[in-house]
Amino acid sequence: MFLYPFKTIWLKTDVNRAVLSDFILQQTYLSDADYRKKDALTKFFYGLVNENEFVLENIKNTRLPGFVEGDILGVEEETYVKLRMGAFRHIRIYILYVLIVLAGLFFWTRAALGMDVVDSGILIGFSAILFSLIGYCIYFLLLFTRKARAGEDFFRGLLQGEVIDKKRVPSLFLRQ
């Protein structure tokens, strides 16, 4: 979707859970390891990783999405990874931005149509702030679509998997 800064993809891989979590660990500062860098490898993420799931925040690579959550599902020879990439950590932050813009548009429309008596200087200042916020949101959403594509390629290579359609995932692994 154009105005929705979140994307979910499914990866299918032949690598088992332990190896997948090791691949992710090589790219991650762990929050439970006192934020120490234990090797000379470049780390792109900060977060939590185990053999069942991971929650990552991008701290280094500007080409990748800001937040990535994943569930590692399956057995030895057939493992599925559900990746949820987002520009925000939670959807409620995005909803807050949308509500602020909608409320601003409502009040701006009322003032512009003359329903309320408003000083023209206040209306011009409010318009500048409102349209700057809308422009920033559109730029941010377009930037996320580019980062989501790069993130999909990055994780496909990192986890040695192929992107599949949700319909090809066994129903046992699909959660409601």
Task: Give the start-to-end residue ranges of the domains of the chain.
Answer: 6-90+146-173, 91-137
| CATH homologous superfamily of 6-90+146-173 | Kinase associated domain 1, KA1 (3.30.310.80)
Residue 135 has pLDDT above 80, yes or no: yes
Which pLDDT tens digit goes with each residue over 89-133? 777 877 887 788 888 778 777 777 765 555 666 777 777 888 888
Nearest to 56 by CA among 143, 159, 166: 159
Per DSSP, the three-state class of 36 is coil
Q: What is the mean pLDDT of residues 19-39?
A: 71
pTM given for the model = 0.75
Average pLDDT, whole number, for the chain?
80
